[in-house]
Amino acid sequence: MHEEALFAGLTRKVEEVAREHQIRRVTRVRLWVGALSHLTEEGMRRRWELEVPGTIAEGATLIVETSSDLSDPRAGDVLLKSLDGDG
């Protein structure tokens, strides 16, 4: 349910990182979703489609890696692992 609030921060971060590394077009974004994060891949993808148009990540492929490891110290979190881009 918090996808919107989450993606608001994530897309901002993608733009910030891309700018910092002189990336002109983001082609791939990798997310890691912890086992206790309450988020589903399907829900994240739906939100992604709404959030990215008009941003530097428009048209980029979203890769979601869902962890099932309950003992991971970041099991409750969502991480922006990496992004690929041209520039």
Size of the site for other proteins (CB under 8 A): 40
- Interacting positions 37-66 with other proteins (CB under 8 A): 38, 40, 42-43
d(C-alpha 36, C-alpha 66), whole Å? 10
Report DSSP state, residue 32.
Answer: E
Stretches 17-25, 50-58, 59-67: which one binds other proteins (CB under 8 A)? 17-25
Please give the backbone phi and psi of residue 65, each rounded to the nearest 5 degrees, phi first. Answer: -105, 115
Stretches 49-57, 59-67, 74-82: which one binds other proteins (CB under 8 A)? 74-82
What are the C-alpha distances in Å from 35 to residues 39, 47, 62, 80?
Answer: 9, 19, 19, 15
Which residue ranges make up the site for other proteins (CB under 8 A)? 1-3, 5-6, 8-10, 13, 17, 21, 23-24, 27-28, 31, 35-36, 38, 40, 42-43, 70-87
